[in-house]
Amino acid sequence: MIGRFLRERWALIVGPLALLTAWELLSRAGVIPVTFFPPPTQIAAGASIIVDMESGLGGDLLMTVFRLIVTIVLAVLIGVSLGIAITASQWTERGISTVLAFVYPIPGVLFFPFLTFILGRTETAVLLTALVTPLIVMMLYTVAGVHSISRTLIEVADNYDCRGAKRFFWVFVPGALPSIVTGIRISLGFGLIAVIAIEMIGASSGLGNFLWENWQILRVTDMYVALACIAVLGLLATVGFDEIANKILPWRAEERSAS
């Protein structure tokens, strides 16, 4: 099973291995300063802090994963519902799309100070800040998915008086599902970036907070361990979600392999 995975996903491994090998050689040769760029083998030797739940990285890792899951679940539930709702009216869609286009380029972390005016430096403020960009992404992709639904299918639903909740779950959600799945994949990336960024400036726990605190006291090895955890978490979220999505939408995997 591992051999099959390596054969199918070898391209995901070659690049990181080449980078780590070059880093190791350059650090050992003194080409790059060891103080700031210790060899990857030295960083790996300190990776035991990942399982340390008390003074190590374990608790922060779990907190980041928790925040990411909550952020994405809320983004999907709220974003899909609002995205479908605003397409009911052309004027509503135009108005809200303008607002989304205005807010989307603003880094989500910049909303944190404004949320603290209302909520203080609380976990709710952290989660809402991390939610901003993934929520907008889900709304935009849901709207695009609804527009991709065949007009004939909508007319058939009208003829059979398929309205309300039945129309939502039987027509719009299945019809927009390919675009929604793509939106979730992109939201996972944006969500992880947002969670790490807000942890660095506004949270007392999490991978971002751990990385920032260790950078301030120049505990470089621990800082790189946290950075590696973030990279692996992002890779697992993307690749793992792709596998799940391919099971839910088998034709998606066939289209990607054909291309």
Instruction: Pick 87 or 196 by higher pLDDT.
Output: 196
End-to-end Cα separation, the chain, in angstroms: 25
Same domain, 159 and 236: yes
Same domain, 140 and 118: yes
Neighbours of 202 (CB within 10 A): 22
11 falls in which pLDDT band (50, 70, 90)? low
Same domain, 54 and 40: no
Query: Sign of the C-alpha dihedral, residues 24, 200, 232, 251?
Result: negative
Q: For the CA atoms of 46, 51, 53, 54, what is the dihedral angle to 10 degrees?
A: -30
Q: In this predicted structure, what is the pLDDT of residue 258? A: 47
Predicted TM-score of the model (pTM): 0.82
Q: 212, 155 in Cβ contact below 8 A?
A: no
Cα(98)–Cα(120) distance, integer angstroms:
29
Q: What is the mean pLDDT of residues 231-257?
A: 72
Same domain, 179 and 200: yes
C-alpha to C-alpha distances, 44 to 39, 196, 220, 226, nearest whole angstrom? 9, 22, 12, 11
Q: Is the pLDDT of residue 259 over 60?
A: no
Same domain, 35 and 76: no
Q: 228, 43 in Cβ contact below 8 A?
A: yes
Same domain, 25 and 138: no
* pLDDT tens digits for range 165-208: 777 767 777 778 888 988 999 999 999 999 999 999 888 889 99
Q: In this predicted structure, what is the pLDDT of residue 18? A: 87
Same domain, 92 and 120: yes
User: Domain count of the chain?
Assistant: 2
Which domain, by its residues, includes 6? 1-45
Q: Which two tokens stand for residue 223?
A: 């800082």
